[in-house]
């Protein structure tokens, strides 16, 4: 590890007021390398007193930060994004160690987060309000976007760089302070990012990082100083976060599960379809909410499944620094057992398992949480493997007769995170994008995650809330609009009674 990297130790510290602070907690959680089961560090479960300190100090920092002009905030963000870029590979190596991601995949995780920080550098223009002159005689109306106070984020294991960077840079650029509770499974990457944030010159207290489990999450959900909370995770937890947070009168954006379909039309480019299906289904071991988990073959395109099977069989998992590896292990033994259980259930319910990764082994790493590429065909909508999010390197194949049948199948699914269509027909693509009830649509793009000047816009049970992540919607989420109606009197004019009805 390079100088300054969060080194493995008995307990990972908290990040309070720009300093690494040893927790006083006697409860900790091991962080393991999922390819070896080596314990890298332990995460303390922050005490109530430490949670209170983090939140209260963030509130004090907010009182000063909200008055810092947006251009000055943007300049600090520019320094931060440059530090992230200069430490890009270092962050990716830490990330690979604790998630098992291949180095190439880890670098992509870091880079997509950097892109959001670059968007936060545009905050002066993003905070521009509206104005209308002379809405009535001598009266002008205009609006400002002002920060909320202390915001919080609860992030998942699968993108420990990108998703924290979805949240706190935009919130802080808007003038807020932020308390981050990263996943207890891979907290070393967010901690190193926090160190770089402090190194950019931001005032102490704007970003606080605490660790723990449900008790610490509940503390954030119920604390009166937390004004808004962002979350990414599973559907049951997202529902809990949303209900609990809103019941405590907070703004909440909760990104949840997915079941993303790729529609394959007979007129699509076969080689492109197969290549993109393989990468989008097993990349990152399928542990991403925008992974393609269902291929819907329309008409004669179903004949391509054999070629798909052969292509998937060539992809092998491996250790993070193995350049020939297509993906890494699952995050934990529990995650592996869950995926293996769903594969077994799929076989039991009658799906045809064309490629089975259940007994995957990787040389020199016998203890890794390995699952190989797995391909099912003959899947129906009532099967467990279709109804549940598998979150592993498993691709399901379904066959329909027409594009409208594919649209109906997808629209009936309770999730609406992402979908895509591969076709050479502009008419088919336009018909699909218009009628599909999914928030993010790709046309000959398998994983349509938008760049940060747009917003990440899942629908249905993939998202709970009103404003989405990054982009303009994040600015709206992390700010409150204040509308001013102003009139200036001529000192030489005589005052007359105002008998008009005032708006309430």
Residue 366 lies in a domain: yes
Who contacts 440 (Cβ-Cβ below 8 Å, separation ≥6)?
290, 417, 418, 419, 448, 449, 450, 456, 457, 458
Residue 58 lies in a domain: yes
pLDDT of the chain along its 504 residues, tens only?
333 344 455 789 999 999 999 999 999 999 999 999 999 999 999 999 999 999 999 999 999 999 999 999 999 999 999 999 999 999 999 999 999 999 999 999 999 999 999 999 999 999 999 999 999 999 999 999 999 999 999 999 999 999 999 999 999 999 999 999 999 999 999 999 999 999 999 999 999 999 999 999 999 999 999 999 999 999 999 999 999 999 999 999 999 999 999 999 999 999 999 999 999 999 999 999 999 999 999 999 999 999 999 999 999 999 999 999 999 999 999 999 999 999 999 999 999 999 999 999 999 999 999 999 999 999 999 999 999 999 999 999 999 999 999 999 999 999 999 999 999 999 999 999 999 999 999 999 999 999 999 999 999 999 999 999 988 999 999 999 999 999 999 887 777 776 665 544
Tell me, yes or no, whether 146 and 169 share the same domain.
yes
Number of domains in the chain: 2
Quick one: which of 192, 152, 196, 199 has its CA closest to 172?
152
Distances (CA, A) of 213 to 61, 183, 185, 208, 431: 25, 8, 10, 16, 45
What is the full DSSP assignment across 400-416?
Answer: ESSHHHHHHHHHHSSEE
Q: For residue 424, give its domain range.
A: 260-414+418-443
Tell me, yes or no, whether 186 and 90 share the same domain.
yes
Tell me, yes or no, whether 187 and 129 share the same domain.
yes
Cβ contact 262:277 at 8 Å: yes
CATH number for the domain harbouring residue 161? 3.40.605.10
Residue 277 lies in a domain: yes
Tell me, yes or no, whether 479 and 398 share the same domain.
no
Tell me, yes or no, whether 355 and 475 share the same domain.
no
Residue 490 lies in a domain: no
Residues that are catalytic: 289
Question: Distance between alpha carbon 140 and the CA centroid of its chain, in Å?
Answer: 41
């Amino acid at each position: 590890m390079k100088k300054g990297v969060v080194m493995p130790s008995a307990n990972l510290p908290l990040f309070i007021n720009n300093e690494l602070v040893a927790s006083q907690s006697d409860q900790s959680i091991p962080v393991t390398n999922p390819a070896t089961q080596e314990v890298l560090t332990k995460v303390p479960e922050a005490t109530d007193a430490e949670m209170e300190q983090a939140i209260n100090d963030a509130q004090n920092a907010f009182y000063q930060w909200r008055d810092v002009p947006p251009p000055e905030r943007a300049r600090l963000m520019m320094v931060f994004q440059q530090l992230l870029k200069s430490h890009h590979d270092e962050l990716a190596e830490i990330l690979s160690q604790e998630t098992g991601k291949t180095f190439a995949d880890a670098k992509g995780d870091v880079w997509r987060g950097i892109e959001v920080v670059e968007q936060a550098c545009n905050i002066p223009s993003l905070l521009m309000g509206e104005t209308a002159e002379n809405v009535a005689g001598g009266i002008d109306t205009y609006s400002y976007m002002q920060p909320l106070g202390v915001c919080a984020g609860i992030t998942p294991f699968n993108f420990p760089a990108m998703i924290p960077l979805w949240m706190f840079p935009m919130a802080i650029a808007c003038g807020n302070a932020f308390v981050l509770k990263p996943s207890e499974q891979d907290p070393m990457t967010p901690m190193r990012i926090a160190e770089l944030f402090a190194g950019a010159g931001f005032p102490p207290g704007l970003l606080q990082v605490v660790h723990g489990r449900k008790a610490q999450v509940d503390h954030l959900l119920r604390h009166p100083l937390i004004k808004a909370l962002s979350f990414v995770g599973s559907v049951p937890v997202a529902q809990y976060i949303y209900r609990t947070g809103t019941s405590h009168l907070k703004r909440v954006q909760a990104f949840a599960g997915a079941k993303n379909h790729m529609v394959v039309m007979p007129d699509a480019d076969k080689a492109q379809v197969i290549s993109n299906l393989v990468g989008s289904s097993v990349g990152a071991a399928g542990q991403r909410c925008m992974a393609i988990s269902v291929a819907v073959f329309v008409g004669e395109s179903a004949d391509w499944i054999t070629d798909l099977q052969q292509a998937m069989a060539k992809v092998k998992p491996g250790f993070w620094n193995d350049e020939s590896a297509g993906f890494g292990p699952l995050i934990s033994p529990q995650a592996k057992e869950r995926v293996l259980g769903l594969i077994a259930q799929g076989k039991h319910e009658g799906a045809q398992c064309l490629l089975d990764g259940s007994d995957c082994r990787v040389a020199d790493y016998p203890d890794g949480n390995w699952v190989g590429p797995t391909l099912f065909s003959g899947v129906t909508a009532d099967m467990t493997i279709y109804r549940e999010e598998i979150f592993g390197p498993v691709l399901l194949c379904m066959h329909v007769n027409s594009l409208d049948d594919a649209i109906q199948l997808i629209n009936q699914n309770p999730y609406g995170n992402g979908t895509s269509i591969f076709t050479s027909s502009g008419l088919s693509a336009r018909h699909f994008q218009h009628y599909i009830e999914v928030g993010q649509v790709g046309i000959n793009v398998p994983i349509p995650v938008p760049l940060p000047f747009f917003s990440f816009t899942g629908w249905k049970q993939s998202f709970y809330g009103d404003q989405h992540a990054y982009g303009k919607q994040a600015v709206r989420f992390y700010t409150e609009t204040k509308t001013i109606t102003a009139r200036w009197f001529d000192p030489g004019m005589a005052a007359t009674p105002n008998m008009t009805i005032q708006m309430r």
